Amino acid sequence: MGYAELVNTVIAENQTVLKKVDPEELNRFLDAIMQAKTIQLYGMGRMQLSVRAFAMRLKHMGFDTYIVYDTTTPRIGKGDLLIGHCAVTNVELNVIKCAKEAGATIALLTAHPENECGKLADLYVRIPGQIFGGPLETPSVQPMASLLEQALFLFVDIVAMLLIERKQVSMAEMQFRHTNLEGLPQGFA
C-alpha cells in the first residue's frame, strides 16, 4: 500500500470505530464528567498520550483534573471520577480497584468493557478499535493497538468539544487557563 492509500485506510478505520460509539454511553460519560468533584485520568504507554491531551483540555475548561501517579495528584474518593483509557491490563485493574475502594466513580474508555476492569466500572464507553485483533474489535491494517490509540485521541477531542458546548466555555476562557510560560513572541499571546 502506498502513502495515499494508507491515509484513506487509516482515516476510514478511525471513522468506523468512532461511528460505533453508543450515544447513551457517551451521554452517561459526559454527565459523569459534569458532576465530578475532581477528575483523574489513567492510561499507559501510547494510550497515555490521549490521557494527557484530554486532561489538558479539561483543565482549560475549568475542571479540577489530574493524571494518576503525577506528583501533584491528590487522593481520590467519593464524588471523584477516574477515567481509564484502554483498561485491559492487571496494572489498570489495580488502579481501578484502588479507586473503587476509595469510593470514586469509575469510567472506562475501552474496546473491552466485558473484561474484569469493565465489570468494576460504573460506566464505560466502548470504543472498539483493534488492540488484540479479537472479534469485538474493528480490524485494522495498522500494527498492534494503533487504531484504538488514535480513536481514543480523536474521541476525547470530540468529547472536549461537546463539553465546551455543555459548559458554555468560551475560547477566551480556555486560552486564559492555558499556561503562560511558553514564552510566545509578541503578537501571538
Cβ contact 21:126 at 8 Å: yes
Over its length of 189 residues, how does the chain's per-residue pLDDT go in tens digits?
899 999 999 999 999 999 999 999 999 999 999 999 999 999 999 999 999 999 999 999 999 999 999 999 999 999 999 999 999 999 999 999 999 999 999 999 999 999 999 999 999 999 999 999 999 999 999 999 999 999 999 999 999 999 999 999 999 999 999 988 888 776 665
Q: Which CATH number fits domain 3-168: 3.40.50.10490, 3.30.70.1290, 3.40.50.1980, 1.10.10.10?
A: 3.40.50.10490
pTM passes above 0.85 = yes
CA distance 41 to 131: 20
Angstrom distances, CA of residue 40 to CA of 59, 63, 156, 172: 11, 10, 14, 25
